[in-house]
Copies of this chain bind each other. A is one copy, B any other.
Amino acid sequence: MNKGMAKVSVLYPNGEGKHFDMDYYVDTHIPLVVQLLGDSLKGAAVEKGLGSAEPGSIAPYAAMGNMYFDSVDDFGKAFGPNAATIMGDLPNFTNIEPIVQISEVVI
């Protein structure tokens, strides 16, 4: 993505008793988000946690979802009216409370 864009990352921290259904996330949740956010969403990326720095260690995050917008304002306008629908879908694939990070793309 391009320098200056807004990136919204949704990180799902691993932990005891936590679960995350990657199939549902990829096949149902992400398409729902893409449909609801429409043209404001310039790109999306999803990663599945494998590990940490030490070999054999548990990944800090079970999954990370990333969305790109031209600006934070564009994100707010697109996400706000759909927030309840999108967040309401979370219990269908995870019991993890995600961390939301809004960033500026620097490189």
Q: For A72, what are the chain B residues with a Cβ–Cβ distance below 8 Å?
A: 50-51
Q: For A105, what are the chain B residues with a Cβ–Cβ distance below 8 Å?
A: 45-47
Verify if A103 is at the interface (C-beta below 8 Å from B): yes
Verify if A61 is at the interface (C-beta below 8 Å from B): yes
Q: How would residues 52 to 85 of chain A score, 1 for a CB under 8 Å from any chain B CB and 0 otherwise?
A: 1101000111011000000010001000000000
CA distance A76 to B54 in the complex (A): 10
| Minimum CB–CB distance for A56 against chain B, Å | 11
Establish whether residues A48 and B100, one from each chain, have CB atoms under 8 Å apart when the complex forms.
no
Q: For A1, what are the chain B residues with a Cβ–Cβ distance below 8 Å?
A: 45
The answer, among B44, B52, B102, B103, for a CB contact under 8 Å with A107, is B44
